[in-house]
Amino acid sequence: MDTSNDVSQTLLQLKGKHVLITGTTGFVGKVMLEKIMRSVPDIGGVYLLIRGTKKYANAGNRFANEITSSSVFEFLKLNAPDYFNDFCHGKIHCITGEITEYQFGLPRIEFRDLAAKIDAVVNCAASVNFREELDRALKINTYSLRNIVELSDLAGNIPVIQVSTCYVNGYNKGHIHESLSVPARVDIPRHREGYFEVGNLIEELELKINQTQQKYEGTELKRQLVDLGIREAHTCGWNDTYTFTKWLGEQLLLKSLRGYSLTLLRPSIVESTLREPSPGWIEGVKVADAILLAYAKEKVTFFPGKRSGVIDVIPADLVSNSILLSLAEQFKSPGKHHIYQCCSGSANPLTLGNFIDHLMTEAKENHGSYDKLFSRQPRKPFIAVNKRVFNAIAFCLGAVLSAVSQTLIRLGFKRGLKAHRNLEAAMTLSTLFSFYTEPEYVFHNDKLMDLAKRMGKADQDLFPVDSKAIGWENYLRKIHMAGLNCYALKGRKQALNKVSNTSLVSSSEKQAA
């Protein structure tokens, strides 16, 4: 691969290409779309598969009202409004479809027409609900990939970039490298090419789903399907239904696209942007933020966690750049399978203890700067304890508080004891996130860094992926918390460090730079 320092291989490879992207209503999808619009002006076209809703049945309307209205495009709208509008009208093509339906729910002729127009597929669509009903999680995270495979095949075996997650590695421990992940608790036949034959496992899951559907209905059916997903995930070696079904999806793609162009791009815990399009941009509350908010609102004092454990956080713009580098690589050298992990654990480790300490220090010193995050300075510390200790304390404390709370309710206090409600909140957070706060692994990204090196200096500047660039104290205290307050919670906007490389220039100018 040409590694000339003054030529961006990514811009060369994406020039004139037409790419289908799914999941642009989501966090990572929006960041990637904005990066393409701002930094890859010579791309041929971007096709967006968008599901219609009751409010916006048409993909184009939903794009105009829910995607382009996002603050992620603020830089472009302010600095290059004409370019932004021209790109939206000239190079964005919205396809109204449902990724889980056969051929996206499109008429056969329209599906074939779409295949004839595109050169690659980037699949960012997923259900990231850790406690999704098993049937729904399978439908979105596993079965939908059959439509991606069919489209790729019909289009001439075009490249597929599948955005997965580092946590498909489940309950495996130790140093986790960029390779096929092995189930930790179940023996599944493995093909000589490496992937696992999951057909029988999926049939067993479907049988259990059908039995559950025949036995229950309504809200109880939903609860039973959630419990079934968690139970089956634990049995096979995963913490939750999300990571379990994403792993199954990886196996489906690895089998179906043998000999074709496929990249599995696995991010770790994706959080607010480091630099682009603006420092701290985030949409919604992510894994680490739920715990931070509970502490900020003084709902949680202690939580199961391992202070010395490496909690793997990666900014969304580094994930977006990783996707685009891997896409360019597949255009340059097609017909291969790659697995990349976009993570920080091995190169720039952040321990849970340091994570907590940075957040508490910022809360103590500058809580007044975050009007939506803190109503006042938290009066209690946030303490990480061993999960067994947490469960023992919670059990004993819960029994006492439950009795007191019930007595208060009988006396006319409708909401019972606040301490009991806070304990229930802590238990809920523990159920959802304790796996991620007591890590037994360190993710490595050596192959991703080798890719960045092969692509050359120009791409390392335009599409940085190296987590060593993150200064954790500054990122957590001055970028992430400010972004969470401003964008996710829509509070007061702080002045953040300006991005130094966001000037919008044509690709030809970039090549000559």
Which of 218, 214, 245, 216 has the alpha carbon at shortest distance from 232?
Answer: 245
290 falls in which pLDDT band (50, 70, 90)?
confident
Higher-pLDDT residue of 192 and 289 is 192
Range with the lowest mean pLDDT among 82-91, 179-188, 448-457, 486-495?
486-495
369 falls in which pLDDT band (50, 70, 90)?
very high
∠43-44-50 over CA atoms, to 5°? 95
- SS3 assignment, position 176: strand
The residue whose two tokens read 């829509």 is: 490
Residue 425 has pLDDT above 60, yes or no: yes
Strands (E), 335-437: 337-342, 383-385
| Residues in Cβ contact with 269 at an 8 Å cutoff, skipping those fewer than 6 apart | 286, 287, 288, 311, 312, 313, 314, 436
Residue 435 near residue 239 (C-beta atoms within 8 A): yes
Higher-pLDDT residue of 389 and 231 is 231
Q: What is the mean pLDDT of residues 114-124?
A: 98
Start-to-end C-alpha separation, the chain = 20
Residue 342 has pLDDT above 60, yes or no: yes
Percent of the chain whose pLDDT exceeds 70: 88
Taking the mean position of all CA atoms in its chain, how far away is CA 346? 19
499 falls in which pLDDT band (50, 70, 90)?
very low
Q: Which residues pair with 49 in a beta bridge?
A: 22, 95
pLDDT digits (tens, 9 = 90+) for 65-115: 999 999 999 999 999 999 999 999 999 999 999 999 999 999 999 999 999
List b or e across 357-375, with b for residues whose CB sees 16 or more CB atoms inside 10 angstroms.
ebbeebbeebbebbeebbe
Q: Give the distance between the most distant pair of CA atoms in the chain.
A: 77
Residue 367 near residue 295 (C-beta atoms within 8 A): no
Residue 3 has pLDDT above 70, yes or no: no
**pLDDT score for 324:** 98
| Residues in Cβ contact with 89 at an 8 Å cutoff, skipping those fewer than 6 apart | none
**pLDDT score for 510:** 37
Strands (E), 344-503: 383-385, 441-443
Which of 145, 120, 121, 164 has the alpha carbon at shortest distance from 342?
Answer: 164
Residue 173 near residue 440 (C-beta atoms within 8 A): yes
**pLDDT score for 420:** 57
pLDDT digits (tens, 9 = 90+) for 440-459: 999 999 999 999 999 999 99
| Residues in Cβ contact with 138 at an 8 Å cutoff, skipping those fewer than 6 apart | 202, 205, 209, 245, 248
| Average pLDDT of the residues of the chain | 90
Torsion of the alpha carbons at 12, 28, 272 and 487, rounded to the nearest 10: 120
pLDDT digits (tens, 9 = 90+) for 193-204: 999 999 999 999
pLDDT digits (tens, 9 = 90+) for 206-223: 999 999 999 999 999 999
How many whole angstroms separate alpha carbon 302 and alpha carbon 63? Answer: 42
Highest mean pLDDT among 1-15, 171-185, 300-314: 171-185
pLDDT digits (tens, 9 = 90+) for 264-282: 999 999 999 999 999 999 9
Residue 400 has pLDDT above 80, yes or no: no
Range with the lowest mean pLDDT among 220-224, 433-437, 464-468, 509-513?
509-513
**pLDDT score for 424:** 67
**pLDDT score for 410:** 59
Residue 507 has pLDDT above 50, yes or no: no
Q: Which helix (H) or strand (E) holds 350?
A: none
